[in-house]
Structure 1
Amino acid sequence: MTARVLDVLGAFTAATPELSLTEISRRTGLPLTTTHRLVGELAAWGALERGEGGLYRVGLRLWEVGALAPRGLGLRERAMPYLEDLHEVTRENVQLAVLDGAEVVYVERLAARDAVSIRSRAGSRLPATATGVGLALLAHADPEHVEKVLAAPFRRFTERTLTEPDRVRHLLGEVRRTGVAISEQQIEMVSQSVGAPIRAGQGRVVAALSIVVPIEANPHAYVPAVLAAARGISRALGASALATQP
């Protein structure tokens, strides 16, 4: 029963946020009668909502439950003042993310009207090896976990997306040395990101932030501001000043 409910919820994606009963049935492989019953129960609880056209979408009740996740809620609350400062100073896209397996989950994103377009949004996922936040997180992750990530197939977004494990290993070494990750044209050819790790008590890396800027910009010009924001959030999470140094 639980697996079927999760299958129904998993049928919705960023590309297909609204689905009919028939589409949900086809995507999940469940009989239409079963789909009708499960969708009805989820809608009654608030996990799904039915629009005017008869299509279903994810309901606000799921957002309310998801906001209780400890890695998202406390982190976001402490990080927001620093994210807003970074956004205000640069007028570029600013992101906050955590590592989940081989992907990063974006906890927050502040978008600027005239900034370069980006794929991420709050709650979305992208491969860790192709993002500034992901590289910042993998650089400080358990080596066994990193090797597991590098052993899996790589998803290519552009001709610049890294797909060779050795190149990723080299880049992760540079991130550890400099304290900052620069990911150029891996997700979009028009943009690049500058990311830095965020630490909590005892210096443990728990998240990362990044700024996404046009490819024409000099990414190194943003490094001081990104590092300052990451250190501020780290101190707010209980990390010592020494622990936040590269």
Structure 2
Amino acid sequence: MTRHTLRSAPSSPSPQESGSPPATATGPVIGRALRILGAFSAQRPHLSLSELARRSGLPVSTVHRMLGDLLVWGALERDAQGRYRIGLRLWEVASLAPRSQGLRERALPYLEDLSSLVRENVQLAVRDASEVVFIERIAPSCAVPTLTRVGGRLGITTTAAGLVLLAHAPAAVQEEALARTIPRHTPFTLTDSGRLRAVLAQARTCGYAVSDRQLSTDTLSVAAPVTTDDGEVTAAVSAVVRHGSTSVGALADLVRSCGRAISRALDTPDL
């Protein structure tokens, strides 16, 4: 990167000499790179140069200059139409995140077992602030369509996995989540904080949570916690089935069994 000096004030130390990062109208280099990467979404996985500039809020010249480094490192790739997309190298680095790597590997055999029993969507999720992030998903060809994907985020109150994680989150996190305006995805979406508090209390008592048509009108999800050896809820396992296809009780038994099996696997030391 080109080094700039302050010609108008030669007696003052440059940002490099003082140890502080260079300040520009568009922010530090890392911040600009993150804004470019953050422009991508599940709905917009391929973006042109002008789209990247518009969505990141950076000048076209700045984005064009930084794209070279991002492409060389592998954070971005170009498709046949010349548009940009997230690169494989970035995915490789992201897969090293400790909350997804070991957890996913230990959980996967049990998720596959649950999927073979319910023959529907099976998911593993963790909490990030007031959102739920899905780190694994198994979806047979006959499974009901869902709005979730690996690496995707959703509001924590609209899915069973999110409700389980929120039920065992610190009180401050719960209060923040319940104080937010909750978007209504369907007529069945719970948006009242009082009703949601009751759902969270029931999840702690019963050991599972239910999201009945909250995200889409044809799905029902049931989730159970995954705990560490000290009792901390570190993740949630859920099954998403077609609404009316099975009883909540039967599904809850299977999901809770899966959650307990994953919890035991997490406590097993590596050989």
Q: Is the structural similarity TM-score above 0.5?
A: yes
Give the partner amino acid of 1:227. Answer: R
Secondary structure in structure 2 of the residue aligned to 1:193: strand
Instruction: Check if 1:235 corresponds to 2:264.
Output: yes
State the alpha-carbon separation in 1 of the partners of residues 191 and 90 from structure 2: 35
Identity of counterpart residues, as a percentage?
50
Q: Which residue of 198, 215, 221 maps to 1:187?
A: 215
**Is 1:104 the equivalent of 2:143?**
no
Runs of 4+ in 1 over 4 A off after TM superposition: none
1:160 and 2:193 matched:
no
Q: CA deviation at 1:219?
A: 2.1
Structure possessing the higher relative contact order (Cα contacts under 8 Å, 6 or more residues apart)? 1
Aligned residue among 28, 36, 47 for 1:19:
47
Q: Is the 8 A contact 1:97 1:104 kept in 2?
A: yes
Residue in structure 2 matched with residue 57 of structure 1 by the alignment = 85
User: Is contact 1:86-1:229 (8 Å) kept?
Assistant: yes
CA offset at residue 145 of structure 1?
1.2
**TM-score normalized with structure 1 length:** 0.95
Higher gyration radius (CA)? 2
| Aligned alpha-carbon RMSD (Å) | 1.0
Report the residue type matching 1:17 in the other structure.
P
- 2:182 maps to amino acid: F
Instruction: Answer yes or no: is the 8 Å Cα contact 1:213–1:219 preserved in 2.
Output: no
Aligned to 1:10: 38
Q: Is the 8 A contact 1:92 1:111 kept in 2?
A: yes
Compute the TM-score of the two structures, normalised by the length of structure 2: 0.86
Which letter does structure 1 place at the counterpart of 2:137?
A: R
Q: Is the 8 A contact 1:195 1:211 kept in 2?
A: yes
Q: Secondary structure at the match of 1:24?
A: helix
Mapped to 2, the partners of 1:27 and 1:19 lie a distance apart of 9
Distance (whole Å) between structure 1 residues aligned to residue 183 and residue 129 of structure 2: 15
Equivalent-residue separation in structure 2 for 1:211 and 1:108 (angstroms):
12
- The corresponding residue for 1:83 is 111
Q: How many residues align?
A: 239
Structure 2: gaps of 5 or more residues = 1-28
SS in 2 for 1:82: helix
